Each structure stands twice: as structure tokens, then as C-alpha cells.
Amino acid sequence: MGNVQHGLLNPYYVELPFETPEAQAKADKTNAELKSLGFRTFRGAYEWGYSTFDDIKTDPRRHTQLQSGDLVKVFKTVSAGDVAWSGKVDYSYKKYHHGLQKRLDPRKWSGMFNRQLPAKMERDGKAIFGALEPFCETGTEGVIWSLQEYGKTGYDGLNVLKKGDLLTVYNTVRDGEAEWEGKLDFGPEKVEKIGWSEVMRRTNHMDTQKWLELSWQRRPVIVTPK
């Protein structure tokens, strides 16, 4: 067994050729139109991976591929970890209409959300655990500071942070209530469609759609490589 690693589930895209010449030609045309904007479209399938907390601090785009035989513990709460920031949400609206935390460098505040760090929000005596979310969509006119609750998807799990909420943000998660714990088991590399997504390998240790949802939620994990 390798060294124990603490991090977040982080699936990443593997770029694939389009399935038909017609689809490739359509993508080429779209990319030619988008080139000046710095965007491009491609066909991609998810590969299973995670990012260590050290990598998240220094290179958020770096990831490590998960392998069959790795021991993994996936958390749904946090009971022990290194705290990046803790306090009561108290916004100033002078420089940003959705508010910035008072007495805190705006770069640190926004950086925690951009890295989607794990956090605990306490409101009305209830604790909610999830990933920080810089929520933005048409009509929001900028980022709204939020927390996406573990185990819930879309708007059902979106909690907009309000003045008076208690917030604890973690740089590292060492312990908590486990959502799942066991040895990973992936099928052979064979691109398959799961819902609206494609994946490089099916999962045998858990339903593939369920594992994909856990990965999207950037769940805190402890990984012991095989």
C-alpha cells in the first residue's frame, strides 16, 4: 500500500474522437466560429480521479487517477480537519453588490469558493456540510456565494450564504461520517454512456451513476493507493 492521501474527488475529461465524420465536421465548424473567443468544443469522457489538498493549493487543475485496488473513504460530514477560515458571514456591499466578507482579503474569500473547498454552514441550529460554490447563472449578475450540500443535486442542494450564518472552511479533511468506504473496482477501459455523460470505465464497487454524482460533488476522501 502507498502513502495515505487526503483530498477531493475530482473527475476529469479525456478528449475522444467524435463518433462520426459528420459530428467531427460540425465540431470543426463550431470551433472555427469560437476561436476568437478562446473556447472550443470537444467530445470528452470522464476518468475517475482525485486532487490532494496540497495540489488544490498549488495547482487546482492537477489530478491523480484512481485505480482498482485503491482503498477509499468518502465523507459526508467533517469532524476533524485543518481550518482555512471560520467565522460569521458578515458582508460589506461597498465594492460588490452580492457582498464581500468584512475584514478578509477578497482574494482569499473568492479563492476558497473557486477551489470549492469543503465547508460546514450552521444556520438556525442546523449544520449543513458541502462544497463551497461560486454560483453564477444568467440573471445573477455575478457570483453568489453559496454552499452545495453533499447528497443533493441542483437547486435542491444550493444554499446561498446569508449574513449571520456560521461558516467553517477546511483546507484538509481527516475524519468525519463516511458515505462509503471500501476498495475501488473499475471495469476495463471502454467508453460508455451513463445518463447524459460518457465515462472511460464503469465502476463495480458502486453503481456508476452514483459514483459519478459523488465525484461531481467534490467529496472529501482519504485514498490509500494500492
Q: How do the pLDDT tens digits run along the chain, 226 residues long?
A: 569 999 999 999 999 999 899 999 998 899 888 888 888 888 899 999 999 999 999 987 899 999 999 999 999 999 999 999 999 999 999 999 999 999 999 999 999 999 999 999 999 999 999 999 999 998 999 999 999 999 998 999 999 999 999 999 999 999 999 999 999 999 999 999 999 999 999 999 999 999 999 999 999 999 999 9
Q: Provide the pLDDT for residue 63.
A: 93
Q: Provide the pLDDT for residue 182.
A: 97
How far is the C-alpha of 184 from the C-alpha of 181, rounded, in Å?
A: 9
The alpha carbon dihedral of 79, 80, 84, 87 has a sign of: positive
Cell of 114: 473557486
How far is the C-alpha of 10 from the C-alpha of 5, rounded, in Å?
A: 14
Dihedral in degrees, nearest 10, Cα atoms 187, 188, 192, 196? 50
Q: Provide the pLDDT for residue 73.
A: 98
Using alpha carbons only, how large is the chain's radius of gyration in Å?
19
19: left (phi over 0), alpha (psi -120 to 50) or beta: alpha
Q: Provide the pLDDT for residue 61.
A: 83
With CA atoms as reference, report the closest residue to 89 among 160, 137, 150.
160
Q: Provide the pLDDT for residue 2.
A: 62
The pTM of the full predicted model, rounded to 2 decimals, is 0.91
